[in-house]
Amino acid sequence: MTVKQALKRPEILAPAGTLEKLKTAISYGADAVYIGGNAYGLRSRAGNFSFAEMAEGIKYANDHHAKVYVAANMVTHEGNQAGAGEFFREIRDLGISAVIISDPALVEICITEAPGLAVHLSTQASATNYETLEFWREEGLERVVLAREVSMEEVAEIRKHTSVELEAFIHGAMCISYSGRCTLSNHMSMRDANRGGCSQSCRWKYELFDLPFGTERNRLTPSSVSEKFSMSAVDLSMIEHLPDLIENGVDSLKIEGRMKSIHYVSTVANVYKKAVDSYMDDPKNYICKQEWIDELWKVAQRELSTGFYYHTPTENEQLFGPRRKIPQYKFIGEVLNYDEDTHIATIRQRNVFSVGDDIEFYGPGLRHFTQQVTEMRNEQQEIIDRAPHPMMLLTMPVTQPVQVGDMVRKRK
C-alpha cells in the first residue's frame, strides 16, 4: 500500500469501566476513553459513572489533553426514552466530548434536546457502507463506529466517499452475533442483551449430542466431539496491521473492554500508543515489533485474530477443544510511591506473590524490567515472605527506578 501524504494521527480510544480505569487508560497513552453513565448503556455490570464521577474523570482527561465519551447505545423499548433529554443535557454541561448512540430515537432526542453535544453512531447500528454513513452525517452525526463485520477493502471504499469520521475496533472481544445485536441472553437467562443485561450465553460451555435423522429426542447420545465452546469467538487484534487502518483514513482506533482490568487497559493502551507513535514518526520504515505482540499476549484471555478485516472468520477464529495458547502472566500490584534515596517502592497488592518470585514492573512508554522479590515488609514494617491479602500495602526494594502508577505482574 502506498503511503499517502499528510497522514492524520488516529485517536487511541480506550475503555474505562471505572474512574480508576479512566485514569489508567489516559496515563498509559489513550487520547480518549469511553465510559458508561447510569442509564442507556449496554454494560449494566460495568462500574458505570455517576455524574460526580464523570466530572472528576472529565477534569482528569482535560488536564491530560484527552477526551471522554459516554456510551448510551441501548435499544430502547416503549418508555425507555423517558428522561433521555435531561440525561444528555446533564452530561453535555459536564463537558463530555460526545455520546455514542445506536437507537434513532435517542439520536433524535440528543440532537434536539441537548444541542452542542456531539453524537457518534454506535457499532450496534451496523453501519457497513458509505451511503449509511452519509445518511447519518446529514442527520448531524460527526462520527460513525463501523460495524465489526466491515472488511479492510470496505473501509477504504467508505473513506473515499464520505467525510464523516471513522471509528473502528482494533482490539478486544468479538461478539458471535451480527454487530452484537443478539437475543440469546434474553431467551436463556431472561436478561436483555440489547438493554445492558447480556449474560454472554455464547461464552457458556455446552455439551454436544448426536441426533441421527429419525432418532427420538429422548435417545440422544453424547457426541464424540470434545468441544468446550460452541459459539465463542476469539478476540480481535490489529497490532500487526495498523498501517492499513491509518492509511485508509480511520480516525479513531477503538479498544474493547469496559469490564476488563486495569492490567488489561494499561497494557493494551500502552502497546497501541507506542505502535501508532512509531508509525507516525516514520511511516515508510515502520515495522511492527515482536515485543509489542508479546506484550499483548501477557493480558490476552483468548486467542487473537484479525476478525472480518481480511476474510470471513472460519472455525479457526472460534474457541473449541483445548486452548491453543494460554496466558502466562497475572497482575499482582501497582506502585503507589518510590523513594529515590532508599530505592524502596510502596506497592498495593492485587494478587498473591511471594519472596523469591520473579516479577516484572512496567509503565507508560513500555518501560519495563524484571527482578526477583528479595524482601517485603507490611505496613507495620514487619518482614513478610508472602503478600496474601487483596489490596494490602507493602514495601520492597527495587533494582531500577519506578514511578507512581507503574504496574507489577508475574508469570503464572
Q: Which amino acid is at 303?
A: E
Q: Which three cell numbers stand for residue 364?
A: 507508560
Distance of CA 42 to CAs 136, 150, 386, Å?
Answer: 21, 22, 40
Which helix H or strand E contains 336, and what residues bound it?
strand 329-339
Residues 250 and 350 in one domain: no
Owning domain of residue 100: 11-178+233-317
- For position 110, which CATH number holds? 3.20.20.380
Please identify, among 317, 346, 369, the residue that sits at the C-terminal boundary of a domain: 317
Is 109 strand, coil or helix?
A: helix
Would 193 be classed as within a structural domain? no
Q: Is the pLDDT of residue 194 over 70?
A: no
- Which candidate, 250, 224, 247, places its Cα nearest to that of 321? 224
The residue-averaged pLDDT of 366-373 equals 97
pLDDT 10s digits, 111-169: 999 999 999 999 999 999 999 999 999 999 999 999 999 999 999 999 999 999 999 99
C-alpha cell at 74: 441501548
Does residue 81 lie in a domain region? yes
pLDDT reported for residue 227: 61
374 plus 250 within the same structural domain: no
Q: Rounded to the nearest 5 degrees, what angle is found at the Cα of 39, between the Cα atoms of 33 and 42? A: 65
Is residue 6 domain-resident? no
Residue 2: pLDDT over 50: no
Over residues 343-354, the mean pLDDT reads 97
Provide Rg for the chain, Cα atoms: 23
Distance between CA 231 and CA 245 in Å, rounded? Answer: 28
Of the ranges 43-52, 71-80, 260-269, which is most confident?
260-269
Burial 264-292 (b: 16+ CB within 10 A, else e): bbbbbbbbbbbbbebbeeeeeebeeeeeb
Q: 404 and 271 in one domain? A: no
Residues 115 and 263 in one domain: yes
Decide if 248 contacts 318 (C-beta within 8 A).
Answer: no
Question: Coil, helix or strand for 372?
Answer: strand
Note whether 56 and 142 are same-domain residues.
yes
Q: For residue 9, what is the DSSP state?
A: P
Assess whether 367 and 253 both reside in one domain.
no
- Domain finish residue from 268, 285, 317: 317
Q: Are residues 75 and 101 in contact, defined by beta-carbon separation less than 8 angstroms?
A: no
Q: What mean pLDDT do residues 164-178 have? A: 91
**Among 284, 317, 350, residue at a domain's last position:** 317
pLDDT at 222 over 50: yes
Buried-exposed string 120-137: b where 16+ CB fall within 10 A, e elsewhere: bbbbbbbbbbbebbbbbb
Distances 229 to 98, 176, 232 between C-alpha atoms, Å: 37, 12, 6
Q: What is the pLDDT of residue 212?
A: 64
Q: Give me the number of domains the chain comprises.
A: 2
- Classify residue 321 by burial, with Cβ atoms within 10 Å: 0-12, 13-18, 19+: exposed
Same domain, 284 and 368: no
Q: Residue 223 has what pLDDT?
A: 61
Binned at pLDDT 50, 70 and 90, residue 318 comes out as: confident
Residues 360 and 305 in one domain: no
* 305 and 336 part of one domain: no
Mean pLDDT for 5-26 is: 93
